[in-house]
């Protein structure tokens, strides 16, 4: 897998994570036990990838839904599972994969039974509020680092899990000045072993950037479906169908995401509104439409790589 080249911008820094691990003296061997709390789509996908890539000796799942545990075991995402958090006691790493509103309380309960000094991360798509709360509440108990794999699908539940969803995708990590460096190094290497590209961001930068490329597109899809008449929806082609798949995302989850990241999403909506205004002016002949369209075409990503930038190169 290609490493990230060292790249800096005013908003965030992407590190060559393998180089950082070697220079810091942290080299992650195979983990013993990894616990996953919440074995829905993402939790089960991570479990499958951990087992298929032999990243962990054992993967245990915890979920209050017995059917979710059964499904995750059936597809091979777990070695064992149940509803009792005590299953996390031997874990070297615990991944909390529950809806945003439940992350803090679930993480605190999980940390209470974990080995002191073990690592805990989460996969919520908002970070600032969660990281602030857990940095304070987990200090001295476990080594916490916020995480967010930029992966998913319109599917739900363990039976839709697929390790291919992770391949080549960014795994966003949000350390703070209170984060143990060993937790950063371990999660960086785990991300790479899962076939993902680790990216380090501050929690606030994470929320600002993810609002633009994840939360805003969902709301754009919602608006596009809402603006179309019933007759238009009936003749929609593949492009509109793609918007429809996005708009059919789980409402309860998206309400939680939008509430948690309200300020950043409002900024992203403002940026989008300004772009719509430019397009409207172009349609009226006040701006050159072709220039606007070509600009967006150049910047549009293909498989995560912008058209006007070369693919990431390996750093040796």
pLDDT the model gives residue 26? 43
The two three-digit tokens of residue 269, written as one number = 């909506």
The conformation of residue 157, written as its DSSP 8-state character, comes to S
Task: Give the residue among 82, 210, 202 at the shortest CA–CA distance from 131.
Answer: 202
Give the orientation angle of helix 216-227 with respect to helix 262-283, to 10 degrees.
50
Q: What is the mean pLDDT of residues 225-234?
A: 96
pLDDT the model gives residue 302? 73
Spatial contact of 84 and 226, defined as CB atoms under 8 Å apart: no
Q: Please determine, for residue 149, whether its predicted confidence score (pLDDT) is greater than 80.
A: yes
Burial class (CB in 10 A: 0-12, 13-18, 19+), 72: buried
Domains in the chain and their CATH numbers? 7-201 (3.40.50.720), 206-306 (1.10.3660.10)
Q: Please determine, for residue 216, whether its predicted confidence score (pLDDT) is greater than 90.
A: yes
Average pLDDT value over all residues in the chain: 88
Q: Please determine, for residue 19, whether its predicted confidence score (pLDDT) is greater than 90.
A: no
Note the Cα 139 to chain centre separation in Å: 23
Spatial contact of 182 and 26, defined as CB atoms under 8 Å apart: yes
Distance separating alpha carbons of residues 316 and 120, to the nearest angstrom = 30
Identify which of 150-159, 201-210, 300-309 has the greatest average pLDDT: 201-210
Note the Cα 270 to chain centre separation in Å: 24
Q: What is the mean pLDDT of residues 14-21?
A: 34
Question: pTM to 2 decimals?
Answer: 0.85
Distance separating alpha carbons of residues 306 and 85, to the nearest angstrom = 43
Task: Give the residue among 32, 30, 94, 92 at the shortest CA–CA distance from 61.
Answer: 94
pLDDT the model gives residue 28? 53
């Amino acid at each position: 897998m290609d490493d990230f080249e060292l790249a800096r911008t005013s908003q965030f820094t992407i590190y060559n994570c393998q180089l950082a691990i070697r220079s810091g003296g942290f080299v992650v061997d195979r983990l013993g036990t990894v616990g996953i709390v919440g074995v829905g789509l993402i939790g089960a996908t991570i479990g499958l990838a951990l087992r298929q890539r032999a990243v962990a000796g054992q993967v245990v799942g915890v979920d209050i839904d017995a059917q979710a545990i059964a499904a995750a075991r059936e597809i091979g995402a777990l070695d064992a599972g149940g509803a009792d958090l005590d299953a996390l006691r031997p874990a070297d790493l615990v991944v909390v994969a529950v809806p945003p509103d439940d992350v803090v309380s679930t993480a605190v309960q999980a940390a209470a039974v974990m080995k002191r000094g073990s690592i805990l991360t989460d996969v919520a798509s908002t970070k600032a509020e969660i990281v602030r709360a857990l940095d304070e509440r987990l200090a001295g108990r476990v080594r916490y680092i916020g995480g967010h794999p930029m992966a998913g699908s319109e599917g739900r539940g363990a039976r839709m899990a697929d390790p291919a969803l992770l391949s080549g995708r960014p795994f966003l990590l949000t350390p703070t000045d209170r984060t143990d460096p060993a937790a950063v190094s371990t999660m960086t290497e785990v991300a790479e072993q899962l076939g993902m590209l680790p990216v380090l961001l501050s929690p606030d930068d994470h929320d600002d950037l993810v609002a633009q490329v994840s939360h805003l597109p969902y709301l754009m899809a919602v608006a596009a479906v809402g603006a179309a008449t019933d007759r238009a929806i009936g003749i929609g082609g593949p492009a509109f169908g793609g918007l429809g798949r996005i708009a059919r995302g789980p409402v309860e989850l998206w309400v939680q995401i939008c509430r948690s990241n309200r300020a950043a999403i409002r900024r992203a909506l403002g940026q989008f509104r300004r772009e719509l205004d430019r397009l409207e002016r172009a349609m009226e002949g006040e701006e050159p439409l072709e220039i606007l369209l070509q600009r967006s075409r150049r910047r549009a990503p293909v498989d995560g790589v912008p058209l006007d930038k070369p693919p990431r190169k390996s750093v040796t």
